[in-house]
Structure 1
Amino acid sequence: MSQLMLCSLGNSSNAGNDTNNNANTNSSMEDDDSYPLPTIYRCRAPIASLDCMEEFNSGGGGGGGDGLGNCGAVAGTKEQLLTNCIAAQAHRLQHPSPGIRYRNLGKSGLRVSNVGLGTWTTFGGVGGSGNEETAEAVIALAYDSGVNVFDLSEAHSGHRAETQLGRILSRRAWNRTTYVVTTKIYWNSKTEGRGLSRKHIIESVQASLLRLQLSYIDIVMIHKVDPMCPMEEIVRAMNYVISKGWVMYWGTSRWSPVEIMEAYTNCRQFNCVTPIVEQAEYHLFYREKPELYMPELYNKIGVGLMAWSTVTIGMVSSRTEDCGMSFLSRSSYKVKNKYSSFSWTEDETQSLYKEQEYGWKDKLVDEEARKYSDKFREVSALADRMGCSFGQLAIAWSLKNESVQCLLLGAANIDQLYESLQGLQLIPKLNASMMSEIERILDNKPSRPPMVSTLALR
């Protein structure tokens, strides 16, 4: 569709009508959060062609292309610009991903793709190779497929991941406005630079900027609350780094609803920038916080949901029988409270390495895995009938929840990422009857406890 659109621009006799018609079509499809049939996906023009339209309509001019398929404006005639845009379009369509949509994160104006790339496994986490060339191929595939969110964390692969991503982004030289980088500040009681003090937050942001070789970070998330640091100090420090232009937005990760509300209240009290997103675990077997409390936080204070799970982050085997035990053993059944499950700390990531290398397993976790293995097998059988993998079904199921504005995927190689992206095409197939069948199998739909009247307690 986008090539026909560009060709019509070159035809002077039909330029006015065709441009208006195609612009209206693309605008309505871009803003539509519904999921039409897969055939419509293949006709949808990706972001690159829309950027080309803006450059073309502005009449060309300065700036050079990066030689990697991006359609930056180049000096020359409109015919040259048209040729470059068509080449960029062909490059972006090399790995098409039907189902990519763009939504506002929380109630902010930041537009993010409905799936993002969680880079823990990409940069050498559990199952990852740690090879920078492989990581660059994964990131390039994600970007070319329309994914614009790249998530990092100080607590996962740490400083090395930020350094490698910085080198990749520098080599690729993509337009900075076309992607969103998120990272997390993590407090660790085992190091000297611990806590969420103003000093630690500012120094962490400055260090991340140097490693990423960026002038700003789009979103910085606070990874867990430091019980020894006043909330006022945290929100004032985040407001400071935003006012300096080092950070555009801030959010939280693994915070309880009470903690998020406390941060919001402090922001309002001290006239600070409020958080826009909470990053939380969400999958078929962990549903309470994302389904009960995050919609409420979104409606009341505008905090959106960026979700991840042990399936979508790429921590499961490709074989179904191994996938079940691997996923269940790392899911939220060892949760200590109902708001925060898998903690992603160094202690637990080290335990994953031990399990992978030495066969070490927790007996309690094994019991929980056996308890839920029957449900897993039934969902896997349903996925087989639909002609997809368990992971693809889990991705599509998670995105059926309208509260999930961005779901983080993980991949150690391009094959894993491509397979995960194909799961987006399942979303139209998950109709009401199919969702009811999944609910019947899971039998774990969360519900709020009944209200207890204080009069009844007297």
Structure 2
Amino acid sequence: MAWEEPRKTGMVYRRLGNSGLHVSAIGLGGWLTYGGHVGDEKTFECMKQAYDLGVNFFDTAENYTAGKSEIAMGKAIQKYGWKRSDLVISTKINWGAVNGEILINNHGLSRKHIIEGLRASLDRLQLEYVDIVYAHRPDRLTPMEETVRAFNHVIDRGMAFYWGTSEWSADEIQEAVGIARDLKLIGPVVEQPLYNMLDRQKVEGEFQRLYPRIGLGLTTFSPIKMGLLSGKYNDAADAPPADSRFGASQDRFAEFMRSQYGGEDWRGNIAKVRQLKAVADKLGVTQSQLALAWCLKNPNVSAVITGASRPQQIVENVQALQILDQLTPEVLAEIDEITQNKVSLDPARQD
């Protein structure tokens, strides 16, 4: 077979923490969209657009739309016949409840559910393995050693290549890494946290001690905060529109966001986002692109997971890579001044 020159897409690839795995700086996730309010054909179009633009990182979870996200995204991979070695596929295990008749033992991070849950995910994805499997939130009822050993088991069996965490605390991640080192096992190499201009404390504060110690990679989610940072709610000064995704979604994360950013908090944040529009206009980009590029300026971020219900959104998101150099220290300082939530680090707590 003739050698083919790699596609020149302008995509940026970054190492996943200290691992040897490279992921596209822009990832595509299937949270509430694929298998949910976006049909299969539109899912296929979005994933094809992403792939054509150089995206190699596709993220899902066992509980996204009750497993239907994995099914839809797996169909796209099969439809286009992409080489498995060209893709980085991740899924998450914990919430379960789609693998059996009852919840007991079909959720959590026990050895039983990690193994059975990942097998069920692979069946839905129609894949032999995923590149990354995440512990989707901590399970404080299961001993950490059991969880660490179980993730090593699925790696040893070739069901996954790497494992990580999602929305764990720094102490929980450090505990897992410590146990893995003591047992000469593989520890988590990546964390998937919430991170955007308005949610910075964990990534820029709590996790600071982890980056030099364990080389933790980050694949962050909600870069535009369910649309809030895109500017589309700039005219909704008092509350999110009742028929909007922010205002109407019944997903538990959306409910959490409403509880945290309703009332006075909503009004305060909208005032900040309106001011951010001036920064985006000055750079000649959309507010969504500014929000994505801002996340990627953090050197600890390996990839930002984006969502899209239309191919055009993916094109816009990937274009955010073109303005990274424009986010100078002066521009970043201006954003800090507007958002008023720059994390202040206490050097005494960083060792």
TM-score by length of 2: 0.87
Q: Please list the CA deviations of residues 335-360 of structure 1 after superposition, one character each: whole Å capped at 9, or x if unmatched.
A: xxxxxxxxx995345x49xx9xxxxx
Match of 1:261 among 174, 181, 185: 174
Aligned counterpart, 1:281: 194
Counterpart secondary structure, 2:43: helix
State the aligned residue count.
339
Please state if 1:152 is matched with 2:60. yes
Aligned counterpart, 1:294: 207
Query: Aligned equivalents of 1:124 and 1:316: distance in 2?
Result: 25
Q: After the TM superposition, which residues 19-418 of structure 1 pair with which residues of structure 2 at under 5 Å, given as runs?
A: 73=1, 81=2, 85=4, 96=9, 98=10, 100-125=11-36, 129-187=37-95, 191-192=103-104, 193-309=106-222, 311=224, 319-321=232-234, 326=240, 346-349=251-254, 351=255, 365-418=262-315
Q: Which has the larger radius of gyration?
A: 1
Query: Aligned equivalents of 1:374 and 1:167: distance in 2?
Result: 42
Counterpart residue type for residue 103 of structure 2: T
**What is the CA-CA distance between 1:321 and the residue it aligns to?**
2.0
Q: Residue 312 of structure 1 contacts residue 391 of structure 1 at CA under 8 Å; is this kept in 2?
A: no
Where does structure 1 lack aligned partners over 5 or more consecutive residues?
Answer: 1-72, 74-80, 332-343, 356-360, 453-458
Counterpart residue type for residue 304 of structure 2: L
Query: Aligned equivalents of 2:250 and 2:144: distance in 1?
Result: 21
**What is the CA-CA distance between 1:227 and the residue it aligns to?**
1.3
Counterpart residue type for residue 284 of structure 2: G
Counterpart secondary structure, 2:262: helix
Q: Residue 24 of structure 2 contacts residue 303 of structure 2 at CA under 8 Å; is this kept in 1?
A: yes
Query: Aligned equivalents of 1:293 and 1:104: distance in 2?
Result: 22
Query: Aligned equivalents of 1:386 and 1:104: distance in 2?
Result: 28
**What is the CA-CA distance between 1:253 and the residue it aligns to?**
0.1
Q: Residue 168 of structure 2 contacts residue 191 of structure 2 at CA under 8 Å; is this kept in 1?
A: yes
Q: Which has the higher contact order (CA 8 A, sep 6+)?
A: 2
Query: Aligned equivalents of 1:210 and 1:437: distance in 2?
Result: 48
Query: Aligned equivalents of 2:230 and 2:297: distance in 1?
Result: 24
Counterpart secondary structure, 1:161: helix
Counterpart residue type for residue 207 of structure 1: A
Counterpart secondary structure, 2:62: coil
Query: Aligned equivalents of 2:183 and 2:210: distance in 1?
Result: 20
Counterpart residue type for residue 31 of structure 2: W
CA RMSD after TM alignment:
2.9
**What is the CA-CA distance between 1:286 and the residue it aligns to?**
1.0
Change (3 A) 1:397 1:228: same
Change (3 A) 1:288 1:239: same
Query: Aligned equivalents of 1:172 and 1:217: distance in 2?
Result: 18
Q: Residue 64 of structure 2 contacts residue 70 of structure 2 at CA under 8 Å; is this kept in 1?
A: no
| Range moving further from structure 2, 206-215 or 152-161 | 152-161
Change (3 A) 1:345 1:149: farther
Counterpart residue type for residue 297 of structure 1: L
Counterpart secondary structure, 1:321: coil
Please state if 1:436 is matched with 2:333. yes
**What is the CA-CA distance between 1:326 and the residue it aligns to?**
4.8
Counterpart residue type for residue 120 of structure 1: W
Counterpart secondary structure, 1:250: strand
Counterpart residue type for residue 136 of structure 1: F
Counterpart secondary structure, 1:280: coil
Q: Residue 95 of structure 2 contacts residue 136 of structure 2 at CA under 8 Å; is this kept in 1?
A: yes
Where does structure 2 lack aligned partners over 5 or more consecutive residues?
Answer: none
**What is the CA-CA distance between 1:232 and the residue it aligns to?**
0.7
Q: Please list the CA deviations of residues 70-111 of structure 1 after superposition, one character each: whole Å capped at 9, or x if unmatched.
A: xxx3xxxxxxx47xx47xx7xx56xx4x3x211210111111
